[in-house]
Amino acid sequence: MLRPRLHSSLGLVVQRQKRSERISMDPKATAVTKARYNRIAPLYDLMDSFMEWLLFREWRKLVWQAVGPAQRLLEVGVGTGKNILYYPEDTQITAIDLSDQMLMRARKRAQKLGLRVELSQMDAQALDFADDALDTVVATFVFCSVPDPVLGLQEINRVLRPGGKVVLLEHMRPESPWLGRLFDLLNPFVVRLWGANINRRTVENVRLSGLEIENIESLTPQGIVQMIIARAGKEK
Ligand SMILES: C[S@@+](CC[C@H](N)C(=O)[O-])C[C@H]1O[C@@H](n2cnc3c(N)ncnc32)[C@H](O)[C@@H]1O
């Protein structure tokens, strides 16, 4: 399929590109995820507030330390904008999300902080950026909800320049088989209530996407939350 790609904030050239043939997202699953987060958006910060105070804010700092210097950075699944506070200065940043209601809150947060952030509604499974357009991508707690996580990660691989960096903070299926099975059983309820799957095999998904893992840091017992640093693969 030929379609134009333009992202003015990153000064990219408008170009027509052939999208990879492997891309075939599920529109129904994507619409369900979007509706779920639109519904959760008014309560999202409240639901996460205790964990944010206890753990997440420290983990976010680790993520942004790991990002290092960047020129053209994309945050995928910005949500209500909890990472905006940590964005590096002097970096062209675009933040995207599937849910307009989550994005609206991110926009308000940026305004409150007096920061200018380019926010766009976009699907991680079909990023509207040219191949090799970016040098860094960040996502925190996102690939638990992207309907087809491998597709989303393949898109990240595509839009990163060769050797470009991706930093992910993700919760995933626990390592122990019995706990993993328990998470599998609970998942259908959790995903409806909270929007996120608790049994994704995200490290495996990163490998399947063609991204090359550079470092994995487990932040909790059982590897339930991990920070993954990967590079865009040479073979895309
Ligand atoms: C659990 S929230 C995390 C939000 C934020 N990154 C944070 O750390 O608080 C997951 C976010 O991913 C977004 N999301 C899910 N699927 C997506 C997709 N296909 N494309 C873009 N964003 C998506 C949701 O709308 C939601 O805002």
Domains of the chain: 43-231 (3.40.50.150)
Task: With a cut of 80, say whether residue 23 has pLDDT above it.
Answer: no
Q: Which atom of ligand 1 is nearest to the CA of 56?
A: 8
Instruction: Output the residue whose Cα is nearest ligand 1's atom 8.
Output: 140
Cβ–ligand 1 distance for 125 under 6 Å, the answer yes
C-alpha to C-alpha distances, 101 to 4, 96, 225, nearest whole angstrom: 26, 12, 26
Ligand 1 center to 33 CA (angstroms): 9
Ligand 1 center to 96 CA (angstroms): 9
Mean pLDDT of the chain: 90
Two tokens, residue 215: 């470092």
25-29, 120-124, 173-177: segment of lowest average pLDDT: 25-29
Summarize the confidence of residues 117-132 as an average pLDDT.
97
| Contacting residues for 125 by C-beta, under 8 A, at least 6 apart | 23, 25, 30, 146, 147, 148, 151, 152, 155
Ligand 1 center to 211 CA (angstroms): 20
Two tokens, residue 115: 């920061």
Nearest CA among 96, 95, 102, 125 for reference residue 48 = 102
pLDDT computed for residue 233 by the predictor = 85
CA–CA distance, 189 with 226 (Å, rounded to integer): 23
The residue count of the chain comes to 236
CA–CA distance, 41 with 104 (Å, rounded to integer): 9
- Comparing 122 with 15, the larger pLDDT belongs to 122
Summarize the confidence of residues 178-207 as an average pLDDT.
96
Contact 206, 41 (CB under 8 A): no
Cβ–ligand 1 distance for 119 under 6 Å, the answer no
pLDDT computed for residue 19 by the predictor = 44
CA–CA distance, 195 with 112 (Å, rounded to integer): 26
Two tokens, residue 190: 């959790």
Coil, strand or helix at 165? strand
| Band of residue 25 on the pLDDT scale cut at 50, 70, 90 | confident
| Band of residue 236 on the pLDDT scale cut at 50, 70, 90 | low
What pLDDT digit, counting tens, does each position of 135-166 carry? 999 999 999 999 999 999 999 999 999 999 99
What pLDDT digit, counting tens, does each position of 219-231 carry? 999 999 999 999 9
pLDDT computed for residue 168 by the predictor = 98
Instruction: Output the residue whose Cα is nearest ligand 1's atom 5.
Output: 79
Instruction: Output the residue whose Cα is nearest ligand 1's atom 1.
Output: 141
What pLDDT digit, counting tens, does each position of 37-87 carry? 999 999 999 999 999 999 999 999 999 999 999 999 999 999 999 999 999
pLDDT computed for residue 3 by the predictor = 35
